[in-house]
Structure 1
């Protein structure tokens, strides 16, 4: 009896395994000397979720066995997993691969005949870790490319170099494989409520820092994206595929998306080609009787996504979305959805991509060639010639901006003579970014300040102007008359410090202007060095000359140091920073406060508790974690809401609450937090985190709820067909608003000027606070800078508060309506959270 039950269980278990004959047509012959996936994995593809290390092992083996393949490690993820890229073509082409690449790039700057040259196709899979059908399909696709025999595969490889990117998010893929496999039983459960199908917080969609890597193609904050975009420009493929998953009750989507939601910079022919390739996907899925749809739900507007970034870089980007089993099998409105079925659909459209690209090879190559060769002509027809960008007082922030432009192959040139544009004088050392360059369209996209759109419904953000994110003043320039620039492109300047720290000074001082000054300060404080912040300006005699120091200057007095080696530590630490440090001769200043003034406030190293867990936004917790860790060198303690009541809050100087639903905090946790603030703690909240501070009466401020904002719109007698249009008007889908700062306030120290662009994707509003000295940042009277927001929302937001800080007992509560560290690239507003961490005690 036991043997019978065991065999029955084994049959149930094995019934989910599908051999290669399930995935491939019987017409395809394979080289039997090439190892099959199951021979390395120990199971058939789709029976278990492949781990990233298994993927790496198998693809490495294939590259050794097949002369068609060359494998490269193009980088590593945050968790040091290798980022693989396989170049697949005929053995003959492999011998001249670099020559093929160089000839392809050359054809984009010189009109040459490409009809006999191989095309470049990029196949990318599973940028979201819990959308694993793509990476599992990549195993099968690699086997096909290595082992398939016959005229069809020979023609494909002779005419193409296929770049296979099997796992765009190795860390997320690894996390999800562990989750799905560890919750899988011998008898599979299709119940959507089963643990296998419901991930714990945070989900595996994201990378190590809980970022959505599909939004990072333009922003390039993470090693996965940096490596990938570098290789994209190294090869410049004509077609790039991007394989995803969506909700279980859906079917299969492939582009084109919604026609009216394509970025206007995208050439019309790009969409024509996308339509032509879609016919091949439809034919493949029709043959299998699989449901699918196009031209709805998804758009091609935000240029920082994996399927849209290629569109403004000369390629045709194609998004594929497969309904997800989120495990091994799950119930759906279309019947039980098996993991192996999701894999097969991704494989089918991978192969249909090959067929379509092969048959449209000449058209695709001609389109890409024209995209780049026409760039200068199109730029010449524009009303503007380019953009001037001011360096400001923060060299590190400026260099980071230039480095980002260079990663996208955008040319910038130093201005060599002062020029006045739109009422502002741009000086030598500022830069000019011309439109007349191969990346003409991308320049337009990253400097765009568009606020009016044909279709106001956005799948992602509607405004992403890069100089606004870096808080850099910029302006379009209509004529190059009077503009003098360097002939050579601007190069990145060294981050290292030059010069020797002068010993024997009364004190040392450095400006708070530099973006990495907080990281430097944190490193010094952690090494036991005592430091002060100047709340007012002063002038002091240094070894060079008399120097004026702004509020926010960090002063390190020699007389208060207790560590005998403090000067050596200071000198060694400073070597890693391009921050000028001044040696001050005397505590008596020529003007302003003296160095012993009570307005020289002692600083302490922040000890940050970051609230996370179920209910909080994993993206915003991750963005704050990333900022604290990578930009400040602070290791926050992340504690889930459910554990807060048991936490020893006395260990921490700061509590940070990002956007989220904080109903999970019980009365004991609330009481503990309020008591901790009263005793001297500093609490920061933004978006719904800020709302929680107001609800708990830590701050006395009037607000306008999201519900009240929605109520502005008259919905009486509105037809059902207008639902989506109404929702688009009621929300702010990521736009940039202008705000004005009180530069005398410690939370605004280090800003170049009082105008600060803020990224906004919430309609929650804090009204102006009448209490004195509490309002740090307010929206201007005409705040919309870039992106879409309905004028009814803009009117309510105008002149309202962005950032408020007030005392609560002996502590400080700080509320911000928006996320200051959005997606890791908002260098401007992130200075606000930096100041809250180091200078909030000065408000007491």
Structure 2
């Protein structure tokens, strides 16, 4: 009771804060390590330490979607905290992000410790409190010495919503006494689990893309510091020993020798502490440094030493779980191991402080010289749709990547992303240019490189991600520098009235980017009624491609004069270029009253959720509707599918998952589709229709070759490498398009699809194969040879009609992690145009 009263006082009555620093066990209403701590008490303890230690400052840098605070603690000596902003500024000067030369007395290495990016890896956030206490307490001379020349930044919970989802569930179901048997309820975390945030995104894959508010708010603060060392604290399954650096191959080719060397130094230092305790650990076997959006790689590509710590635990383990050796892994074990590894990181940074600072300066000096990688400039054609360019600029700004405007026309040689190979390109004055010579040079090279070099094919994640592919841009990676002026300005919004004072007959805009889809969503929600051009036409001297959107006065006559004011106000708000026209009579092609101008209904859409669905895929679709497209969606449990439920909706979205519809549910879906309902099946959900009666979709099977005796007798060693011939961890494939089909509108002549599975389906016998791989398809990034062979000639996306409705098959998840901008446009096509 005494500790609980103290906690309440510290959390709610700052004026009555404790006169002395309390340990977590003294502060919390439970013995630290015996129960999980709710997030609000983690925050309360952090505030208590900041209020009672001269070494600690706390700032609240944001909030989660569910309203929980995001906090960061700055920990150093009193002298350093008194000049902390000067130290921060000096470090940004050292990186070339601010002008000036850092004063020698401000040479302080900065260590950032990130805990709990996966909420159900709760031992991380629990250990943040003990780490904070050890750094703040006055009776440790070693730590006092470290902090005299080191700044530590500590984030106790990167994912508070996921952490509370897990810990609150656990506290509800766990019995009074821990039951370590793994089959008991407290070890059976329910769907969707606490690993993910509110929108069920894996925040550890979101560092570069910053699709989530937690990531954006954290990275804005991170970039104000650019720490020299960053540790991302995780947990893995219960029988795994502790993992710390050095990381496994493949290392990205732009990781410096010093970054690799410090990883070894850190690992050796951690090992010395673990050896004294007799704790098991391992290094260099998993967790590579290639994919740029992790909590270890992203800091690495921003000049830091990025490292991952992985302790046995995870959502499976609860307060304690039996291991294969018969021992019990306790929550206290997890806290102890994480705390020692975190403190060891601060120690090794302090011991190597001079080398850290000099190597950090050298890293950014080389970046400013533009000598990091092969390409000197990345040129984005100004002829790209403005919406696509704006989306790219938003991402560049979030990552502090500098860009400019080409000042002269010239021919360059390099890699043409649209063509998918090397060639010549004519730069135009006014093109967008991202130079290699800038502080974020390494990050630029990594995010734009056409195909990362792989020293090892056994990778932990996707192997290709180049932004021009993701954003569907005409772009070139140039071997030479392109002259440019700083900054780039988008073309202003132009309202083309042609000097005509009469009321517009209609308002039109071409369908070219996802921003066009967002505007369509906003317009329909505002009561405006659109039409879709299913072919090309010309009107009042301007050509409109297939996919163009028209709002005619005839369709919107009930709005009266509000028609014009409403659509023009929306266009201004969304910065959407629209063109008023004063006749429906075309110069070429069809008129605006033609049947080729299909009316677009506003589809009432259900999104399936629940244990049958993959939590990440459901979250990606949910976030897409609520945050990206801003379009109403209704969440329906897949287990509740019935004729009555389906009757309320026009479209049902099936995220990836393992669906087991009953016979009656399958019948209800079939009848609903025949009456006009549409299903959009994403990724592995497509397989739910393969081979089903009434559907022509068929899985594409690799040819089965009879194994020769020698193949049967292959050694056990090396089996992992042999298996990757059938593996697609994440590679980009150039997709052929039927450009006349509405699913392909706005995508250009080709679509680059991010494929994260080897699943392959035959082209549809009955339906429309709108996107498919050619027989010559080759991956950008790694894909196993057998998988590639089987994927050739396979379906990427298409529609199979069922009566008046049907199914849209999206074999590759276009919403994967929310960063494939061109995939968002493809999904909008499936949502709005599949009825046409």
TM over 0.5: yes
Q: What is the alpha-carbon distance in structure 1 between the residues aligned to residue 385 and residue 230 of structure 2?
A: 37
Residue 288 of structure 1 deviates from its aligned partner by 2.3
Residue 538 of structure 1 deviates from its aligned partner by 2.2
2:488 is matched with 490
2:584 is matched with 587
User: How do 1:571-720 residues align onto structure 2 when only pairs under 5 Å count?
Assistant: 571-645=568-642, 648-662=645-659, 664-697=660-693, 699-705=695-701, 715-720=711-716
Query: Aligned to 2:31, which of 26, 29, 44?
Result: 44
Q: What is the alpha-carbon distance in structure 2 between the residues aligned to residue 272 and residue 706 of structure 1?
A: 44
Distance change >3 Å, CA 256–CA 357, structure 1 → 2: same
Q: Does 1:274 align with 2:263?
A: yes
Report the more deviating stretch, 695-704 or 761-770: 695-704
Q: Is the 8 A contact 1:412 1:433 kept in 2?
A: yes
1:251 is matched with 241
Q: Is the 8 A contact 1:451 1:785 kept in 2?
A: no
Deviations 1:543-591 (A, max 9, x none): xxx3222221211111232234444332333232111122121222222
Deviations 1:637-695 (A, max 9, x none): 22232222375101111112222211x21111111111111111111213321122233
Residue 185 of structure 1 deviates from its aligned partner by 1.5
Deviations 1:160-195 (A, max 9, x none): 111111111111111111111111211221121222
Residue 283 of structure 1 deviates from its aligned partner by 2.0
Q: What is the alpha-carbon distance in structure 2 between the residues aligned to residue 223 and residue 709 of structure 1?
A: 50
Query: Aligned to 2:130, which of 133, 140, 163?
Result: 140
Q: What is the alpha-carbon distance in structure 1 between the residues aligned to residue 364 and residue 615 of structure 2?
A: 39
Gaps of 5+ in 1: 1-9, 18-30
Residue 707 of structure 1 deviates from its aligned partner by 9.7
User: How do 1:423-822 residues align onto structure 2 when only pairs under 5 Å count?
Assistant: 423-450=424-451, 453-480=454-481, 483-486=482-485, 488-490=486-488, 504-541=503-540, 546-561=541-556, 562-564=558-560, 565-645=562-642, 648-662=645-659, 664-697=660-693, 699-705=695-701, 715-751=711-747, 753-769=748-764, 774-822=768-816
2:68 is matched with 81
Q: What is the alpha-carbon distance in structure 1 between the residues aligned to residue 475 and residue 406 of structure 2?
A: 13
Q: What is the alpha-carbon distance in structure 2 between the residues aligned to residue 723 and residue 709 of structure 1?
A: 18
Q: Secondary structure at the match of 1:442?
A: helix
1:409 is matched with 400
Q: Is the 8 A contact 1:712 1:792 kept in 2?
A: no
2:302 is matched with 313
Q: Is the 8 A contact 1:685 1:693 kept in 2?
A: no
Q: What is the alpha-carbon distance in structure 1 between the residues aligned to residue 705 and residue 172 of structure 2?
A: 45
Q: What is the alpha-carbon distance in structure 1 between the residues aligned to residue 491 and residue 29 of structure 2?
A: 51
Report the more deviating stretch, 448-457 or 296-305: 448-457
Distance change >3 Å, CA 665–CA 742, structure 1 → 2: same
Deviations 1:746-794 (A, max 9, x none): 111122x2111100011111233455x7111122444335210123322
Q: What is the alpha-carbon distance in structure 2 between the residues aligned to residue 731 and residue 557 of structure 1?
A: 50
1:371 is matched with 363
Q: What is the alpha-carbon distance in structure 2 between the residues aligned to residue 612 and residue 708 of structure 1?
A: 36
Distance change >3 Å, CA 279–CA 681, structure 1 → 2: same
1:175 is matched with 165
Q: Secondary structure at the match of 2:287?
A: coil
Q: Is the 8 A contact 1:432 1:485 kept in 2?
A: yes
Q: What is the alpha-carbon distance in structure 2 between the residues aligned to residue 729 and residue 273 of structure 1?
A: 34
1:20 is matched with none
Distance change >3 Å, CA 112–CA 594, structure 1 → 2: closer
2:419 is matched with none
Q: Is the 8 A contact 2:496 2:579 kept in 1?
A: no
Q: Does 1:237 align with 2:227?
A: yes
Distance change >3 Å, CA 459–CA 680, structure 1 → 2: same
Query: Aligned to 1:300, which of 283, 289, 301?
Result: 289
Distance change >3 Å, CA 499–CA 144, structure 1 → 2: farther
Q: What is the alpha-carbon distance in structure 2 between the residues aligned to residue 472 and residue 720 of structure 1?
A: 45
Q: Is the 8 A contact 1:314 1:368 kept in 2?
A: yes
Distance change >3 Å, CA 493–CA 164, structure 1 → 2: farther
Root mean square deviation of aligned Cα: 2.7
Q: Is the 8 A contact 1:683 1:814 kept in 2?
A: yes
Q: Is the 8 A contact 2:779 2:788 kept in 1?
A: no
Distance change >3 Å, CA 276–CA 195, structure 1 → 2: same
Report the more deviating stretch, 128-137 or 702-711: 702-711
Query: Aligned to 1:187, which of 169, 177, 182?
Result: 177
Q: Is the 8 A contact 2:372 2:442 kept in 1?
A: no
Deviations 1:188-235 (A, max 9, x none): 211212222111111110011111110111111112112222222211
2:10 is matched with none
Gaps of 5+ in 2: 5-17, 413-422
Distance change >3 Å, CA 787–CA 164, structure 1 → 2: same
Q: What is the alpha-carbon distance in structure 1 between the residues aligned to residue 382 and residue 708 of structure 2?
A: 41
Q: What is the alpha-carbon distance in structure 1 between the residues aligned to residue 264 and residue 345 of structure 2?
A: 12
Q: Is the 8 A contact 1:706 1:763 kept in 2?
A: no
Q: What is the alpha-carbon distance in structure 1 between the residues aligned to residue 342 and residue 819 of structure 2?
A: 33
Q: Secondary structure at the match of 1:516?
A: helix
Report the more deviating stretch, 239-248 or 698-707: 698-707
Q: Secondary structure at the match of 2:822?
A: coil
Q: Is the 8 A contact 1:821 1:830 kept in 2?
A: yes
Q: Is the 8 A contact 2:384 2:474 kept in 1?
A: no
Q: What is the alpha-carbon distance in structure 2 between the residues aligned to residue 598 and residue 782 of structure 1?
A: 38
Deviations 1:55-109 (A, max 9, x none): 2222123222222222112222222322111111122222211111112222334
Q: What is the alpha-carbon distance in structure 2 between the residues aligned to residue 263 and residue 712 of structure 1?
A: 37
1:27 is matched with none
Deviations 1:427-465 (A, max 9, x none): 344322222222222222112223663311111111111
Query: Aligned to 2:280, which of 279, 284, 291?
Result: 291
Q: Does 1:835 align with 2:832?
A: no
1:224 is matched with 214
Distance change >3 Å, CA 641–CA 235, structure 1 → 2: same
Q: Does 1:356 align with 2:355?
A: no
Distance change >3 Å, CA 86–CA 622, structure 1 → 2: same
Q: Is the 8 A contact 2:410 2:427 kept in 1?
A: yes
Distance change >3 Å, CA 115–CA 459, structure 1 → 2: farther
Q: Is the 8 A contact 2:254 2:373 kept in 1?
A: no
Residue 120 of structure 1 deviates from its aligned partner by 0.7
Distance change >3 Å, CA 390–CA 716, structure 1 → 2: farther
User: How do 1:208-223 residues align onto structure 2 when only pairs under 5 Å count?
Assistant: 208-223=198-213
Residue 125 of structure 1 deviates from its aligned partner by 0.4
Q: Secondary structure at the match of 2:635?
A: strand
Q: What is the alpha-carbon distance in structure 2 between the residues aligned to residue 216 and residue 715 of structure 1?
A: 41
Q: Is the 8 A contact 1:451 1:788 kept in 2?
A: no
Distance change >3 Å, CA 204–CA 148, structure 1 → 2: same
Q: What is the alpha-carbon distance in structure 1 between the residues aligned to residue 738 and residue 652 of structure 2?
A: 24
Q: Which runs of 4+ in 1 moved over 6 A?
A: 110-113, 496-503, 706-714
Q: TM-score, normalised by structure 2?
A: 0.91
Q: Secondary structure at the match of 2:573?
A: coil
Q: Is the 8 A contact 1:736 1:757 kept in 2?
A: yes
Q: Secondary structure at the match of 1:841?
A: coil
Q: What is the alpha-carbon distance in structure 2 between the residues aligned to residue 94 and residue 823 of structure 1?
A: 38
